[in-house]
Amino acid sequence: MSKQIVIAGGGIGGLAAALACARSDCQVQLIERADAFGEVGAGIQLGPNVVQVLHGWGLKAALAEVAAFPAALQVRSAANAAVLGSLRLGERALSLYGAPYATIHRADMHQVLLHAARNQDNVQLHLGHCFSHFELGDGGVGVQTEQGIALQADALIGADGLWSRVRGQLLHDGPPRVSGHLAYRAMVEQSELPERLRSQVVTVWLGSRLHVVQYPVRGGAWLNVVAIVHGKVAGELQNWDHSANAQDLRAALSHTGSALQDLVGAIDHWRLWPLCDRAPMLGAHQQACGRVALLGDAAHPMRPYMAQGAGMAIEDAACLQQELGHEASMEQRLRRYAQRRWQRNARVQARSIRNGEIFHATGLVRWGRDLSMRLLGEKLLDVPWLYRGPID
Ligand SMILES: Cc1cc2nc3c(=O)[nH]c(=O)nc-3n(C[C@H](O)[C@H](O)[C@H](O)COP(=O)(O)OP(=O)(O)OC[C@H]3O[C@@H](n4cnc5c(N)ncnc54)[C@H](O)[C@@H]3O)c2cc1C
């Protein structure tokens, strides 16, 4: 008999999990608290490790329609725009890692997964249902929504993001931690920018206590820009409305060079994310316990300096698919999923924090960073252990 899985959360992680579980012949019920599926207006980068999973799910053509595939990543000085280092992506990523490096609008990624999940007969999507709590019983898990619906399943997957309630009930480990970094994000049509500001590569601008990342999305027609600065905001973070003041960002970048100020000055509408994360898990027992498992930001929210948060959620889902396909008890399948995932996720979380420190370095550390980048170039910027995907 096919297994019944309830997934809490319909973001990129939850939809990837729904597709993955359905491909493993499970009956899936996904509950999403919002009344409509949607994603914020921002881009994400997808390493070859992630694109490979999406290709494996038969989404190559759908991805090619909406993503961009930059030929290179370049690192530049925020002070004088000098190129500090570069990494070839495109053909190089394809030949080394078996898949290209992609950049995509989050809403497009979400739509591709939503469409694929809807095409599965064994997936039911319930909008406007907020996960309330779970109850473990003999041979199953009961899931209660705030709207009074009770679902019975063989397993519950918590894919309900940074402020996960499933995690709260499972681990009781308090709220996420505030990083002290702010992300300003914007998307702009390239045709609206002066020619000199248009770009089809990934560019990372490094400055003192700040960095800016820009890359094309929507087949290259749009440019996504995210600026990370140090700072705090007042107000409740869980229901943060993302409103931003462009003047604050311009003031934070006032000591950078004219090339970067030119780009940021050309964009009027920004949205703001106070960045939070959690410490990496201490072991597999935290990512899955009995019939309940965590996936995506619910399990391993990270700073975005490896550009892999959604990527790790998609890798989690692919691993879940494989483990659900094995003959074992549900507890054993989820335990094996957690054992295979937690260390890689923890490594990416730790490396993301370190990247942030290196990106924002000042003084001697900054001098050493720039010199190493010039001397080592691609060797320093490439991340083979990550891009070649998990190896078990
Ligand atoms: C500035 C920035 C840049 C980033 N860049 C990248 C990048 O380049 N590449 C990359 O891979 N990642 C990137 N990330 C990380 C990425 O956005 C996240 O890791 C990813 O979106 C997590 O997906 P998720 O589905 O786990 O969580 P979420 O996207 O948070 O989705 C959770 C879903 O659960 C729903 N939900 C919440 N509570 C409940 C409940 N009680 N009941 C039912 N539903 C509920 C929510 O409505 C939501 O739909 C970036 C993040 C930031 C902030």
pLDDT digits (tens, 9 = 90+) for 130-188: 999 999 998 899 999 999 999 999 999 999 999 999 999 999 999 999 999 999 999 99
Mean pLDDT across the chain: 96
Q: Encoding tokens for residue 306?
A: 């490896």
Give residue 164's pLDDT.
98
Rounded to two decimals, the pTM is: 0.97
Count, in order, helices (H) and strands (E) of the chain: 14, 18
Q: DSSP assignment of 158-187, as one string? A: E---TT-HHHHHHH---SPEEEEEEEEEEE
Mutate to test the pocket of ligand 1, among 73, 160, 170 (most ligand atoms within 8 A of CB): 160
Counting from 1 in the atom list of ligand 1, the atom nearest the Cα of 45 is: 8
Mutate to test the pocket of ligand 1, among 6, 33, 383 (most ligand atoms within 8 A of CB): 33
Ligand 1 centroid distance, CA of 376 (Å): 34
Question: Does some domain include residue 214?
Answer: no
Q: What is the C-alpha separation between 374 and 86, in angstroms, rounded?
A: 9
Nearest to 120 by CA among 7, 256, 244: 7
Judge contact between 315 and 306, C-beta under 8 A. Answer: no
Query: E-assigned strands of the chain?
Result: 4-8, 27-32, 43-46, 72-77, 83-88, 102-105, 123-127, 131-137, 140-145, 150-153, 155-158, 177-189, 202-207, 210-217, 222-230, 271-277, 288-289, 292-294
Active site residue 305: no
Q: Which of 215, 305, 337, 387 is catalytic?
A: 215
> Which residue's alpha carbon is at the smallest distance from atom 29 of ligand 1?
11
Give residue 371's pLDDT.
95
Q: Which residues contact 83 (CB under 8 A, 6 or more apart)?
A: 74, 75, 76
Counting from 1 in the atom list of ligand 1, the atom nearest the Cα of 297 is: 26
Question: Does some domain include residue 79?
Answer: yes
Give residue 232's pLDDT.
86
For residue 27, what is the domain's CATH number? Answer: 3.50.50.60
CA 332 to chain centre: 27
Give residue 243's pLDDT.
81
Burial class (CB in 10 A: 0-12, 13-18, 19+), 16: buried
Q: What is the C-alpha separation between 222 and 28, in angstroms, rounded?
A: 35
Judge contact between 115 and 108, C-beta under 8 A. Answer: no
> Which residue's alpha carbon is at the smallest distance from atom 31 of ligand 1?
11
Q: What are the phi and psi torsion angles at 263 (to 5°)?
A: -65, -50
Q: Encoding tokens for residue 226?
A: 């995210």
Ligand 1 centroid distance, CA of 272 (Å): 15
| Contacts of 2-5 spanning 24+ positions with Cβ under 8 A | 2/26, 2/27, 2/122, 3/27, 3/154, 3/155, 3/324, 3/330, 4/29, 4/152, 4/153, 4/154, 4/155, 5/29, 5/153, 5/154, 5/155, 5/156, 5/157, 5/324
Question: Does some domain include residue 210?
Answer: no
Nearest to 255 by CA among 82, 79, 80, 84: 79
Give residue 110's pLDDT.
97
Give residue 134's pLDDT.
98
Ligand 1 centroid distance, CA of 57 (Å): 20
Question: Does some domain include residue 358?
Answer: yes
Q: Which residues contact 247 (CB under 8 A, 6 or more apart)?
A: none
Question: Does some domain include residue 364?
Answer: yes
Which three-class secondary structure state does DSSP give residue 298?
A: helix
**Looking at this protein, which amino acid is placed at residue 60?**
K
Counting from 1 in the atom list of ligand 1, the atom nearest the Cα of 226 is: 1
Q: What is the C-alpha separation between 252 and 110, in angstroms, rounded?
A: 32
Measuring CA to CA, how many Å separate 350 from each of 61, 298, 346? 34, 16, 6
Question: Does some domain include residue 311?
Answer: yes
Question: Does some domain include residue 379?
Answer: yes
Ligand 1 proximal residues by C-beta, below 6 Å: 8-14, 31-34, 44-45, 130-131, 159-162, 165, 183, 185, 226, 273, 275, 296-298, 304, 307-311, 313
Give residue 39's pLDDT.
79
Give the domain extent around 92.
Answer: 4-175+278-387
pLDDT < 50: residue spans in the chain? none
Ligand 1 centroid distance, CA of 195 (Å): 33
Q: What share of the chain is helix, strand, coil (3-state, %, to 5)?
A: 40, 25, 30
pLDDT tens-digit map of 55-92 = 999 999 999 999 999 999 999 999 999 999 999 999 99
Q: What is the C-alpha separation between 250 and 248, in angstroms, rounded?
A: 5
In the chain, the number of structural domains is 1
Question: Does some domain include residue 132?
Answer: yes
Which three-class secondary structure state does DSSP give residue 132?
A: strand
Counting from 1 in the atom list of ligand 1, the atom nearest the Cα of 162 is: 30
Q: What are the phi and psi torsion angles at 164 (to 5°)?
A: -45, 125
